[in-house]
Amino acid sequence: MDKIKKHTEAAEEVSSDKRDKLLITQVLEALARTIDAKDKYTNGHSERVAIYSRMIARKLGFSDDEQDDIYYMGLLHDIGKIGVPHDLISKTSGLTDEEYLIMKNHPIVGYDILSEISTMPELAMAARWHHEYYNGEGYPDGIAGEDIPFFVRIIAVADSYDAMASNRSYRQYLPQDVIRAEMLKNSGTQFDPKVVQAMIEIMDIDVKYSLHE
Ligand SMILES: [Fe+2]
């Protein structure tokens, strides 16, 4: 009898763990939709970046738990956009130098928002460094190569892929071969070549080009 009770308790514990994980996932997805709701032209961007980041991570051999973590980082990478004025985010014409500087501050704002989450410091890192370049020419810190954590290099590729594979006010999502060429062109400069290689393999399997907005 005691044994049965023990098993039941263990099962309840597992299901409450599962429930907690599901709750975390759903709350973070809701937060991602909150970020994206600010800009009607990037609707669903954060969730797509999260999904693509997880696909790349799987391709690169990350464990299931690591894939989940990368998915969460993808969901929140642009949270700093909350701090960018709405009229600036939804502006369809080109930004002035001053506006561009405000826009470029969103990684720092995101970092500040997430830096208190001590259980997963990678969330704040992803927010801060997702616009860094592999060659050091990105922003805000200009860090390069292996100094950019691997998972952030994954998010950078997924982020750019989705920017090209989603509709904008002035254009439809780009053809798959154009994105493929752009990825390869920026491999080694903007992006880590290992991550680009994984993304290209994902695109090659996506023969019907279903990975777009
Ligand atoms: Fe961003």
* Active-site residue (options: 18, 81, 91, 208): 81
Q: Above 80 in pLDDT, residue 7?
A: no
CA–centroid distance, 131 to ligand 1, in Å, is: 6
Quick one: CA dihedral 89, 75, 138, 193, positive or negative?
negative
Q: Above 90 in pLDDT, residue 194?
A: yes
Cβ atoms 87, 59 nearer than 8 A = no
**Is residue 211 in some structural domain?**
no
What is the DSSP track for 38-107? T-GGGTTHHHHHHHHHHHHHHHTT--HHHHHHHHHHHHHTTGGGGGS-HHHHT--SPPPHHHHHHHTTHH
CA–centroid distance, 5 to ligand 1, in Å, is: 50
**Is residue 210 in some structural domain?**
no
Give residue 138's pLDDT. 98
**Is residue 213 in some structural domain?**
no
Give residue 88's pLDDT. 83
**Is residue 173 in some structural domain?**
yes
CA–centroid distance, 77 to ligand 1, in Å, is: 7
CA–centroid distance, 109 to ligand 1, in Å, is: 11
Beta bridge partners of 168: 171
Confidence band of 105 (pLDDT split at 50, 70, 90):
very high
Give residue 81's pLDDT. 92
CA–centroid distance, 80 to ligand 1, in Å, is: 8
Number of H helices, E strands in the chain: 10, 0
Count of domains for the chain:
1
Q: Which residue range is the domain that position 17 belongs to? A: 2-205
**Is residue 212 in some structural domain?**
no
Give residue 130's pLDDT. 98
- 81 catalytic? Reply is yes
Considering the chain, what is the average pLDDT of its residues? 93
Confidence band of 209 (pLDDT split at 50, 70, 90):
very high
Between 10-14, 63-67, 170-174, 178-182, the lowest mean confidence (pLDDT) is in 10-14
In tens, the pLDDT along 15-32 reads 888 899 999 999 999 999
The residue type of 22 is L
Give residue 86's pLDDT. 83
Cβ atoms 133, 127 nearer than 8 A = no
In tens, the pLDDT along 108-166 reads 999 999 999 999 999 999 999 999 999 999 999 999 999 999 999 999 999 999 999 99
pTM of the model: 0.90
Closest CA to 157 of 180, 124, 178: 180
CA–centroid distance, 14 to ligand 1, in Å, is: 36
Block residue for tokens 């998915």: 71
**Is residue 18 in some structural domain?**
yes
Distance, CA of 130 to CA of 125 (rounded, Å): 8
**Is residue 162 in some structural domain?**
yes
CA–centroid distance, 184 to ligand 1, in Å, is: 21
Confidence band of 92 (pLDDT split at 50, 70, 90):
low
Residue 1 gets which letter from DSSP?
A: -
83: CATH: 1.10.3210.10
Give residue 157's pLDDT. 98
Q: Above 90 in pLDDT, residue 189?
A: yes
Give residue 6's pLDDT. 77
Give the residue-averaged pLDDT of 60-79.
97
Confidence band of 1 (pLDDT split at 50, 70, 90):
low
